[in-house]
Structure 1
Amino acid sequence: MPGIVNGRCLIDGSAQGALLFADTGLSLWGGVDPSSGEVIDRHHPLSGQSVAGRVLAIPGSRGSCTGSSVMMELISNAHAPAALVLAEPDEILTLGVMVAQHFFGRSLPVLCVGQHAFDTLRGQPWARVDGASLSLYSQAPDDPWLPREAESENDTADGAIELSRRDQELLDGAHGKAAQVAMQIVLRMARLQGARELIDITQAHIDGCIYTGPASLRFAERLVQWGARVQVPTTLNAISVDQRRWRELGIDPALGEPASALGDAYMAMGARLSFTCAPYLLDSAPGLGEQVVWAESNAVVYANSVLGARTLKYPDYLDICIALTGRAPLIGCHLPERRRPQLQIQVPPLAGADDSVYPLLGYHIGGLCGSRIPWISGLHQQHPDLDDLKAFGAAFATTSAAPMFHIAGVTSEALDPDLSSGLSEALPCVSITPQDLLASWKELNTARDTQVRMISLGNPHFSLSEFARLAALCQARRKHPDVVLAITCGRAVLEQARAAGHLAALEAFGATLITDTCWCMLGEPVVPVDCRSLMTNSGKYAHYAPGLVGRRVHFDSLGACVDSACSGTRSGRPPAWLSPFSPAEPADHV
C-alpha cells in the first residue's frame, strides 16, 4: 500500500512521476533552463537534473520573481514538472501555473503539504498527486490509473473577498476583456493568499517584460489585442536586450527581435519606457508607507526595506494584472504587522571591510533566513550608504524568499524603537562569524584560474554615485586590451552620468556601456566566447552566472574589479579584511 500525505490543493489536477526532492528553495529564473527543464543553478543540490515529467518537491521558490514566467514557459513547451509539491504556499510558482491555465489552457497540479510532511518525502522514489492527496510508492505502480480532468476554477466567485462596485464591473467585463481576465487572476491569487479585501495601489513595476521564450511574448501580445491599458503609473524592468543597440552588440535576431517586441508590447499597454531593474533610482520612486506593486526581487526588497514603501514580492504576470486593475490583495507586507522581524542576525565587527562586504553579507544572510524577515544588528557602525544597501538587498533576494530586511539603526522602519523593543527575548538569534563569511566568499568565487577577460558591473543597474566612484577609480588608467569591462544601467541614470561628466573617464578607460538590459539576460557575444571566467562585484550575478552563461566567477570589490581590468589577472585570495580567517592555499584551489 502506498503512503498517503494530505495537504492543501493550490491548483487542482492529478499526475504521477518519479519524485525529484530537494530541501533547498529553487529560483526557476536562473535556476532552470526554460527550453529544456534542466536545473542550471550550479549552487543548488539538483544542479544538472531535469524537472521535466517529474513530481518536483521543493520547499518553495527563492530569488527571482521571473520564476512564474519560466514556469509558464515550461508548461507551454512541455518541459514542465508533472506536478509540484511544496512545503509552504508559493505565489511565484503557483501564479505561473495559473497564467498558463488562463492563457494557454495547460496546467499541472500544485499541492502544499506543510513542512513536517514535506520532510518525510526525502528518498521516496515515486509519487502520485490527486487534488489534495499525495501517494508515495517504492516504485512506479502497475495499475490502470489515469489522470482525471481537473475541476474548473470558479473565477467569478468572490468568496470572502469584499469587492467594490468597480471591482465587480472589471470582473463582469465592463472595462474590456484584458481587465476582466486580469481581475480574475488577481482574485484567484487573493483567495489562495487568504486576503479579505483589495486595496488601491499608486504605481507598479513590471518584471514580466523579460523574455523567457515564445509564451512570454504571446501572453503580452494577447493582452494588447484585448485592449489592455494600465490604470496606474507603471515602470518596466530591464528587458532581455539593449533595445537600441542589440544588433550592434552582435545579439542573435532570434533573441533580439522577440525580446525587443516584448518591451514594445508592454509600452503599448501604457507603461513607461524605463527598462531598469533599479526603479528606486528613478524620480518616480515611492515614499514611506506608499502602497505599490513591484516585481523584480532586488527592487521589492529595496522598496520595502530602504524606502519603506509596501509591496509583496509579486510574481511576473500578477504585476501586470494588478497594474491593469489598480487593485491588489491586502496581504503580507502591505500590512504593518506582516513587516515585523522574525529572526535576529548579529554581524561581527569587520574592521577595514571594503564594499564587497555588503553583497557578501546579503548573500549569506539570505541563505539563513529562508522566508523569514531578519533584524540585522552590528552594521550601524559601518555606515552603509544607499549603494551598499542596494548591493546587500540584491544578494539577499537571491538566496532568500523574504520580501524585506531590517538593519538596526539604518533602514527606515528599523529606526522605530517600537519595532526593536523586546526582540532579544522574542526571536531566535543567529550570530555570524568571519569564518561563515569566508565560506560564502569561497562559494561565490568559483573560478579556478587567475586570468580575467570579462568584468561585469551593474547588477542591479548602476546608480549615479556608482558611476562617480568608478570614474574616480578609472581616472588616468586604461584597461588591459584583452579585457572587456561592461556596465549595465538604465537610460535615465546614463544621461545623468553623462551630464555629470563621469563618462569621459570611463570611455577613456575603455569601458562598454549597455542600457535596457542586465547581466541576468546577457550572454555571448557580450560575454566573449573564449572567456573562461568573469569577474563581478555583484553577489547576485556571482550566484547566477555559472548557470546562465556557463562561466566560473571571481567575486570582489569594485576597486579590485578595476585593478583586474588593468592587469588581466586575479590573485584568487580573499581581501585583506577576510585574510586573517583564511588558511594559506594556492590560488587555483580558492
Structure 2
Amino acid sequence: MSDVSLTGRSLVRGSAQGELLYTDVGLSFWGGVDPFSGEIIDCHHPLKGQCLAGRILALPSGRGSCTGSSVLLELLTGQNAPSALIFAEQEEILTLGVIIAETLFEASIPVLFVGPEAFATLRLGQYAHIENEKIHLSDMPSQEYSAAEATTRYSQLSTLAPSSLTLSDDDQALLAGHYGKAAQEAMRIVLRVAELQGAEQLIDISQAHIDGCIYTGPASLRFAEQLVEWGAQVRVPTTLNSISVDQCRWRAQGIDPAFGEPASALGNAYMAMGAQLSYTCAPYLLDSAPKAGEQIVWAESNAVVYANSVLAARTLKYPDYLDICIALTGRAPFIGAHRNQGRFATLRIDVKSLDSLDDAFWPLLGYHVGLLCGSEIPLLCGLENTAPSRDDLKAFCAAFATTSAAPMFHISQITPEAMRESQALGGFPPSRHLTIEPADLLASWYELDHAEASQVDLISLGNPHFSLSECAALAALCSGRRKHPDVAMAVTLGRAVYDDASAAGYITTLERFGAQLINDTCWCMLGEPVVPPTARTLMTNSGKYAHYAPGLVGRQVHFGNLAECVETACSGEASGRLPTWLTAVATRQGAH
C-alpha cells in the first residue's frame, strides 16, 4: 500500500509505533484479554489467540464489562500492554484505564478516536506511527521514538482542569485539596474525563455502586490502598460489587492465599473508604435500589443497563476507578444517559414472534441484540405480549451488556421509557431498522451452547447474582431430589438475598439437593477449585457466563433454561434438546 496519513482526536496524547492489530469487532478486556500476558482469550472474538503486547490495537469500541479499565491498568503496569489504542468512536472504559495508569503509576500509551470512515482505512496498514492526533500507516515500521518524553507530556496534561466546564465553589474546593488528597486527585480525574466527554457541567449524584473492587492484579489493590492512605471517604451512599472471593469462606473453599488474601484486602480497602458491605453484582435487588429519574453512578455492566432500562434511573456505563472517583466527590459529568437526549433509541429492531417462550429466551435475545447494536441504544418491537418478569429482564440486561457498549435499551410497551415508540425514539425516526428472525436466534444459541461432549461436570448459576424469586424457582425444581454425585452445582448470590432465602427455607432445600451457595463473589471471578480441576464441561442458564466462561476458566459450555440445568445436574448429561420455540426453526433448516 502507499503510505497513508490520518488525523483523529487525541484522548491521551503521546507517541507510539508498532505493528497494527485491526479488528472491526468490539472487545471487552475483562474476560477477553489476559491481564498478565496480553493474550486475547475471548473465544468468540476473531482475534482470539493474538497478543496485544507492543502492538497498536485498532478496534471500533470497547464493549462488555466496566472492569476493562482495570485489566488495561494491569497490562500497563506490567510488560504486555499494547503500545497504543485507536477507536472508531469515543471510548471511555479503556481510556480511563490509561488515565489512571498515568496519574498514579506514571505509565501510559496514546489513545485516539478517528471516526468510522477513517477507522475503516486502518485495515490497509501493517504498521502505524502515532504522534498525538496524527496516524501514519505504512508497510514498514518507522523510526524509534522517545516514550519518556511522551510520559512527561501526559503528567503535565493530567493536572489541567477543562476551561469550558463550569465549576461550583465546592468543586473548586475539592480541586484545591480542601477535602484532602484523595478527593483532590479524584476530582482531577473526574474533570479530565469530563473534558474528554465534552461536558459543560457536573451534577450531584445520589448514590454509587463500585465495580473496581474486583481484584484483577496488584495494580487494582495498589490503587485502592493509595486512596485509603490519602484519607479517602465517600460522599454519597456507596455499595460494592461482587469481589473476587467469598470473603467469609474462601479459605474453606481451597482458594490459594496468594489470590484470596489480596482479593479480600481489596474489598476491605473500599470498606475503609465508607462503602457498604453489599458485595453483589445485582445492586438493583437491594433496598437501596434507585427510583426513576434518580441520578446515580453505577459501574458493573449488567447493573448499569438494568438501572437505566428497567428502573429508569440515570447512569453512564462507568469504568472501574472512575466510579470511586465520583463517589469521593459526589459529582459526575452531565452527559450521555444522564440527560434526556442521551436516552433515546436510534436503532429499531423488530423481533419476529415465537411461541411457548421459556426463561432461556431472554438471555439469548439480549446476547444477540447486543451483537447487533454496538454502542447504539435499541428499541425492540414485537415483544409487547411477552410479559417478561424482572428476572427475565435481569438476564436480558446481563447478556446485552456483555456484547454491546450501549448503556441501555428500550422494549416497546414493557420498559418504562418506551410506553410509546415515539417516547423511546425522542420523536425522531430511527437511523437504522433491523429485523431478528428466529433463524438468527438459532445461530446465537449455537454460539452459547457449543460444548461437544454431552457429559457435564458443573452447573453454574447466579450470573448475575440470584434474586429471591430465582432461589424460589430453583428450590421448587430441586425439592425432594438429589444431584448426580459427579456433578458440582454452585449458585452465587448476595448476602442480603441469601439471608432472605435462608429464612424462606430455600437454602436448606438447595443444600439438600447438593448445591453449594457462594456469597460475595460471582462466576466472572471464580476459578479453581470452585470450578473443579477435573471438570471439562459446564452448563449455565446465563448468557453472560456462557460467553465469558471459555476464556475465563477454559471450559466448554452448554446453555439452557433453569429447568434443563437442574435435569442435567441430576443426570450428568446435557440432553442437547433445543427449546420448543427454536425446534421448528432447526427442523426447517435441517430440511434444507
| Shorter-chain TM-score above 0.5 | yes
- Do the aligned residues in 2 keep the contact of 1:13 with 1:148 (CA within 8 Å)? no
Could you tell me which of 493, 496, 502 is aligned with 1:498? 502
- Do the aligned residues in 1 keep the contact of 2:129 with 2:136 (CA within 8 Å)? yes
Q: For this pair of structures, how many residues does the alignment match? A: 585
User: Residue 4 in 1 paired to residue 31 in 2?
Assistant: no
Q: CA 1:326/1:572 → structure 2, altered by over 3 Å: closer, same or farther?
A: same
- Tell me by how many angstroms 1:380 deviates: 2.1
Q: CA 1:163/1:445 → structure 2, altered by over 3 Å: closer, same or farther?
A: same
**Correspondence 1:283-302 to 2 at 5 A:** 283-302=287-306
User: Residue 71 in 1 paired to residue 72 in 2?
Assistant: yes
- Tell me by how many angstroms 1:576 deviates: 2.0
Deviations 1:191-234 (A, max 9, x none): 00000000000000000000000000000000000000000000
Q: Secondary structure at the match of 2:122?
A: coil
Q: Structure 2 counterpart of 1:186, which letter?
A: V
- Tell me by how many angstroms 1:502 deviates: 1.2
What is the match of residue 326 of structure 1? 330
Q: Distance in 2 between matches of 1:199 and 1:144?
A: 44
- Do the aligned residues in 2 keep the contact of 1:459 with 1:488 (CA within 8 Å)? yes
Q: Distance in 1 between matches of 2:71 and 2:248?
A: 25
User: Residue 349 in 1 paired to residue 353 in 2?
Assistant: yes
- Do the aligned residues in 1 keep the contact of 2:280 with 2:465 (CA within 8 Å)? yes
What is the match of residue 44 of structure 2? 43
- Tell me by how many angstroms 1:476 deviates: 1.1
Q: Distance in 1 between matches of 2:63 and 2:199?
A: 22
- Tell me by how many angstroms 1:585 deviates: 10
- Do the aligned residues in 2 keep the contact of 1:236 with 1:272 (CA within 8 Å)? yes
Deviations 1:384-425 (A, max 9, x none): 010000000000000000000101111111125650578795
Q: Distance in 2 between matches of 1:426 and 1:258?
A: 48
What is the match of residue 545 of structure 2? 541
- Do the aligned residues in 2 keep the contact of 1:488 with 1:518 (CA within 8 Å)? yes
- Tell me by how many angstroms 1:513 deviates: 0.1
- Tell me by how many angstroms 1:145 deviates: 4.7
- Do the aligned residues in 2 keep the contact of 1:27 with 1:67 (CA within 8 Å)? yes
Q: Distance in 1 between matches of 2:319 and 2:522?
A: 19
Could you tell me which of 270, 274, 297 is aligned with 1:270? 274
- Tell me by how many angstroms 1:501 deviates: 1.6
**Correspondence 1:438-477 to 2 at 5 A:** 438-477=442-481
Q: Structure 1 counterpart of 2:512, which letter?
A: A
Deviations 1:236-262 (A, max 9, x none): 000000000001111111110000000
Q: Secondary structure at the match of 2:418?
A: helix
Tell me which moved more, 425-434 or 500-509: 425-434
Q: Distance in 2 between matches of 1:484 and 1:4?
A: 56
Q: Structure 2 counterpart of 1:225, which letter?
A: E
Identity among equivalent positions (%) equals 63
What is the match of residue 206 of structure 1? 210
Q: Secondary structure at the match of 2:41?
A: coil
Q: Distance in 1 between matches of 2:401 and 2:217?
A: 24
Q: Structure 2 counterpart of 1:250, which letter?
A: G
- Tell me by how many angstroms 1:508 deviates: 1.2
Q: Distance in 2 between matches of 1:363 and 1:202?
A: 31
Q: Secondary structure at the match of 1:120?
A: helix
- Do the aligned residues in 2 keep the contact of 1:240 with 1:518 (CA within 8 Å)? yes
Q: Structure 1 counterpart of 2:72, which letter?
A: M
What is the match of residue 304 of structure 1? 308
User: Residue 527 in 1 paired to residue 531 in 2?
Assistant: yes
Q: Structure 2 counterpart of 1:303, which letter?
A: A
Q: Structure 1 counterpart of 2:355, which letter?
A: A
- Tell me by how many angstroms 1:149 deviates: 1.5
- Tell me by how many angstroms 1:146 deviates: 4.3
Q: Distance in 2 between matches of 1:550 and 1:220?
A: 29
Q: Distance in 2 between matches of 1:211 and 1:421?
A: 39
Q: Structure 1 counterpart of 2:57, which letter?
A: L
Tell me which moved more, 421-430 or 100-109: 421-430
Q: Distance in 2 between matches of 1:551 and 1:163?
A: 50
- Do the aligned residues in 2 keep the contact of 1:536 with 1:561 (CA within 8 Å)? yes
Q: Distance in 2 between matches of 1:433 and 1:19?
A: 36
User: Residue 105 in 1 paired to residue 109 in 2?
Assistant: no
- Do the aligned residues in 1 keep the contact of 2:344 with 2:426 (CA within 8 Å)? no
Q: Secondary structure at the match of 2:501?
A: helix
- Tell me by how many angstroms 1:573 deviates: 3.2
What is the match of residue 20 of structure 2? 19
- Do the aligned residues in 2 keep the contact of 1:457 with 1:536 (CA within 8 Å)? yes
What is the match of residue 367 of structure 2? 363
- Do the aligned residues in 1 keep the contact of 2:345 with 2:378 (CA within 8 Å)? yes
**Correspondence 1:396-435 to 2 at 5 A:** 396-416=400-420, 418-420=422-424, 425-435=429-439
Q: Distance in 2 between matches of 1:189 and 1:52?
A: 26
Q: Distance in 2 between matches of 1:356 and 1:306?
A: 19
What is the match of residue 395 of structure 2? 391
Q: Structure 2 counterpart of 1:546, which letter?
A: P
Q: Secondary structure at the match of 2:157?
A: coil
Q: Distance in 2 between matches of 1:349 and 1:229?
A: 51
- Tell me by how many angstroms 1:155 deviates: 2.5
- Tell me by how many angstroms 1:428 deviates: 2.2
- Do the aligned residues in 2 keep the contact of 1:14 with 1:148 (CA within 8 Å)? no
User: Residue 120 in 1 paired to residue 124 in 2?
Assistant: no
Q: Distance in 2 between matches of 1:571 and 1:584?
A: 21
Q: Distance in 2 between matches of 1:425 and 1:207?
A: 35
Tell me which moved more, 409-418 or 458-467: 409-418
